Structure 1
Amino acid sequence: MTEPAMPFALDKDGVRLAVRLVPRASRNGIDGIVQGTDGRPVLQIRLLAPPVEGAANKALIAYLAEMLHLRKGSISIRSGETARFKILFIEGDGPAIIAKLEHWVACAGG
């Protein structure tokens, strides 16, 4: 049995993370890894914040920073500012960040 593909990969100076954001959710949390519209894996994250004036993007960065124990300034949106599908860049020790992401997804049952 092969392991499912992960929505994150090592990149120069950090990690690239594919996310599908569900704003105005009933709770903050992750749904685990789901298949994106292009067939690639994405980490689906639900947030209470509405998609208005960047509120959901700010909440996404704050949520990831809190869950991964990182500074908000180390997380940036590379593409998808106004879309549900986003590519994020997390600056730092790539292998350590990937280990945190894998643990987080595993604990969430995703």
Structure 2
Amino acid sequence: MVEWARRSGGLLVIRVHVQPAAKRNEVAGTYGDALKVRLTAPPVDGRANAALCDFIALRLGVAGSAVAVSSGHTSRRKLLSVVGAPDDSEARLLAG
């Protein structure tokens, strides 16, 4: 298990550092003890949070409703909860 992800019961909890208003959606490696994610969405009216959940769901191959921001709604540092995440989630997130 990597430093930025842990399993808790049936959930995968991911620590994320978000860079909104970027040129493209991508995982940009790690940032300290968090997974760094760049998003094209601006940090306005929850659009970056919604884009983050959709992006992570797509990368993991789970439904969008399976990913939720559990803390850090107005911060760049967030905790995401993923229900039903596959066992190779960390590799999927880091894959090009």
Matched, 1:75 2:67: yes
Paired residue total: 96
With normalisation by structure 2, the TM-score equals 0.91
Question: CA 1:6–1:102 in structure 2 vs 1: closer, same or farther (change >3 Å)?
Answer: farther
RMSD, aligned CA: 1.6
The CA distance in 1 between the partners of 2:89 and 2:81, in whole Å, is: 15
Aligned-pair CA distance for 1:14: 1.4
With normalisation by structure 1, the TM-score equals 0.80
The structure with the largest helix share of the pair is 1
Counterpart of 2:27?
Answer: 30
Aligned-pair CA distance for 1:33: 1.5
**Match among 39, 57, 61 for residue 49 of structure 2:** 57
The CA distance in 2 between the partners of 1:5 and 1:47, in whole Å, is: 22
User: Once the two structures are aligned, what percentage of the paired residues are identical?
Assistant: 28
Where does the alignment leave 5 or more consecutive residues of structure 1 unmatched?
A: 36-40
Aligned-pair CA distance for 1:101: 2.1
The CA distance in 2 between the partners of 1:21 and 1:49, in whole Å, is: 11
Q: Is the 8 A contact 1:75 1:88 kept in 2?
A: yes
Where does the alignment leave 5 or more consecutive residues of structure 2 unmatched?
A: none
Asked which structure has the greater CA Rg, the reply is: 1
Q: Is the 8 A contact 1:17 1:88 kept in 2?
A: yes
